[in-house]
Structures are given as structure tokens and as C-alpha cells.
């Protein structure tokens, strides 16, 4: 934590670490404007340093401005022994099923003494240092510049089994960019506490704090056997198989360049003269009724 006490609304020099706050004359400070990352509004005056011809612009802001220093050690180094209680409930209304990640017990002291572990999956009381270690990080190092940790709770339930088989699965990972120097690395925020002096003039204490943020992400899915979806899926699969065969035949018969080769293999073409056709029918027990009626040999035929 970085504390800037007794800030009052008055004029003072802008921080020299702010881009655009340096100046060598009053004309460099645009009155009424503020630097993009500045602490206040410029008054138009340049406050020169100790004889080197350079200085910083004067601003109207909460003064004195915050010093760009970083903490040298965690304020609460023993906080890794603190615990956090994460209570979560899951509900699948389609199956009229709900469950929590807390063990149903009549022991009133269960949550006071239990800690999450492989043998106690239904005790959602986590030690902060243990959560950080699950991500492969050290608590003391992360506490210096802060960090963001995602706690994922996943429910994958097969409701054909006993309700006790539906249990939460936890996973932990660090979300902020900590492997390389970056402006987004770590986690910090500012807040202020406001007071009034004996004359009624307001002043404040500004605090920039570094901490560890926990984002709890919950997801889940459940399933149960039903004969109707099974029959529908099987019927759909069979229909798609038939449609696939028809589509393949259509492509091979009409769209590819060598479709005639496939057509010759798929279909057998038979050509014969009318005399051979008539002889084949007579052999099979058919007679020519046209001759009996005085018609030609190619007249209409009837079955005997």
C-alpha cells in the first residue's frame, strides 16, 4: 500500500514523471488543460527547479500529488494464512436437480475447522496461500504487485448415477500477465478517505493498494438417458446415410468427367432385336394371338 496523507485542493507542482508535465517557461504549460495521465489542471505557470532551467507545470489538484514509489514489502505478509469461503450452488431445472458444494452435515463446527483438499472436496474453505500455490506462484511475491486468480468450478453430472457422483471440480490459474513486464501486470486500485478539519476545510488520505483479486467462474452440464432422443438420433443417422449414397451416385453419374465409366459399371445395358424379343416370350409360354386373328406376327400378344 502507498499512502499519500493530508491532501488538500490547492496548487502544487505536477509530478515530473508525468509525460507532458515538464517545462522551461510558462508558455509550455497550457492553462486550463491537463496531461493525459496527470493529477490536475494546469494553471499556466512553470515551476523551475534548482537552477537547471527545467521544471514542472503547476496544477490545481489534490496536493501533494502521489509519489511514484512502489512498496518494498507486503503490508500483510501473514495474509496467506487467511481463508476464503466460496459457497456455490448448481441447478439443472430440466431434470429438477440441484446441489451445493458444501457437505450436508449436522455438525455445526464443520466449516470452522475443515479445509479444502483431495480428501475433503465438499469443504469450500480455501487457504489463500494454498490457492496461490495451485497456480504455481509464490504468495509473498504476488502480494508485492498484486495479481488476478481465476477459480473455476465445473460441474459435469451424469444423472443416471447416484447424486453423490455429481461433484464439483476446481481448477486455479493466474489471469494477469506476470511473465513479462507490462502495464497490465499485477492488480492495484486507489481509494480515498475524506475528512474535515476544525475550520470545515475538506482533506483526504489517498491510498493505492496492491492486492490479489479472485474471479470465480462457474460452469456445468448434466445429462440423463432418454429413449426418445436415442431413436430420433438413430433415425436421423440412417436417413443421412441414405442421402449420402444418393449424393455420391449423383456426383459419379453426372458431374465427374469419367462418369460414363462408372455408369457402365453400375448399369448393364442389353440390346436385342424385336424378333429375338418375340422368340424369348414364346419360349416362356406365350403365344401370338395376332396370328389367330389374322394379324401379322408382330400383333398384340396375350398370355396362354
Report pLDDT for 248.
79
Task: Please indicate, yes or no, whether residues 54 and 144 belong to a single structural domain of this protein.
Answer: no
Residue 126 pLDDT > 50: yes
In the listed set 17, 41, 63, which residue is the last one of a domain according to the structure? Answer: 63
> Structural domain of residue 241, as residue ranges?
227-257
| Lowest-pLDDT choice from 13-22, 51-60, 162-171, 278-287 | 278-287
In angstroms, what CA-CA distances link 163 with 98, 106, 119, 171, 176? 9, 19, 18, 22, 36
How does pLDDT run across 237-291, given as a tens digit for each residue? 877 777 777 777 777 777 777 777 777 777 766 666 666 656 666 655 554 444 4
Report pLDDT for 31.
92
Report pLDDT for 177.
73
Report the candidate in 98, 93, 119, 219 with the shortest Cα–Cα distance to residue 166. 98
Report pLDDT for 250.
78
Mean pLDDT in residue range 155-164: 88
In the listed set 13, 38, 63, which residue is the last one of a domain according to the structure? Answer: 63
Number of domains in the chain: 4
Whether 250 is covered by a domain: the verdict is yes
Task: Please indicate, yes or no, whether residues 107 and 211 belong to a single structural domain of this protein.
Answer: yes
Task: Please indicate, yes or no, whether residues 167 and 82 belong to a single structural domain of this protein.
Answer: yes
CATH code, domain with 134: 2.60.490.10
How does pLDDT run across 75-110, given as a tens digit for each residue? 888 899 999 999 999 999 989 999 999 988 888 888
Higher pLDDT, 28 or 297: 28
Cα dihedral across residues 101, 107, 111, 115: positive or negative: negative
pTM over 0.85: no
Amino acid at each position: 500500500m502507498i499512502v499519500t496523507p493530508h491532501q488538500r485542493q490547492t496548487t502544487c507542482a505536477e509530478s515530473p514523471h508525468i509525460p507532458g508535465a515538464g517545462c522551461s517557461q510558462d508558455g509550455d504549460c497550457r492553462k486550463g488543460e491537463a496531461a493525459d495521465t496527470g493529477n490536475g489542471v494546469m494553471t499556466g505557470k512553470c515551476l523551475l527547479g534548482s537552477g537547471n532551467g527545467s521544471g514542472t507545470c503547476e496544477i490545481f489538484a489534490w496536493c501533494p500529488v502521489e509519489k511514484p514509489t512502489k512498496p518494498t514489502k507486503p503490508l500483510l505478509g501473514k495474509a496467506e494464512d487467511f481463508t476464503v469461503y466460496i459457497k456455490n450452488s448448481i441447478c439443472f431445472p430440466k431434470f429438477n436437480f440441484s446441489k451445493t458444494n458444501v457437505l450436508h452435515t449436522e455438525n455445526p463446527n464443520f466449516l470452522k475447522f475443515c479445509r479444502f483438499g483431495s480428501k475433503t472436496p465438499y469443504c469450500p474453505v480455501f487457504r489463500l496461500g494454498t490457492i496461490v500455490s495451485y497456480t504455481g506462484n509464490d504468495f509473498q511475491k504476488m502480494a508485492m504487485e498484486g495479481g488476478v486468480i481465476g477459480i473455476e468450478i465445473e460441474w459435469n453430472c451424469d444423472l443416471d448415477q447416484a447424486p453423490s457422483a455429481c461433484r464439483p471440480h476446481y481448477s486455479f490459474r493466474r489471469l494477469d500477465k506476470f511473465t513479462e513486464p507490462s502495464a497490465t501486470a499485477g492488480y492495484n486500485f486507489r481509494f480515498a478517505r475524506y475528512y474535515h478539519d476544525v475550520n470545515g476545510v475538506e482533506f483526504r488520505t489517498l491510498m493505492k493498494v496492491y492486492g490479489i483479486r479472485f474471479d470465480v467462474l462457474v460452469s456445468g452440464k448434466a445429462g440423463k438417458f432418454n429413449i426418445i432422443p436415442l431413436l430420433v438420433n438413430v433415425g436421423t443417422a440412417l436417413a443421412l446415410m441414405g442421402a449420402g449414397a444418393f449424393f455420391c451416385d449423383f456426383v459419379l453419374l453426372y458431374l465427374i468427367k469419367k462418369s460414363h465409366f462408372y455408369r457402365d459399371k453400375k448399369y448393364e445395358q442389353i440390346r436385342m432385336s424385336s424378333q429375338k424379343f418375340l422368340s424369348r416370350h414364346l419360349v416362356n409360354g406365350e403365344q401370338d394371338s395376332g396370328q389367330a386373328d389374322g394379324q401379322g406376327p408382330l400383333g398384340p400378344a396375350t398370355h396362354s
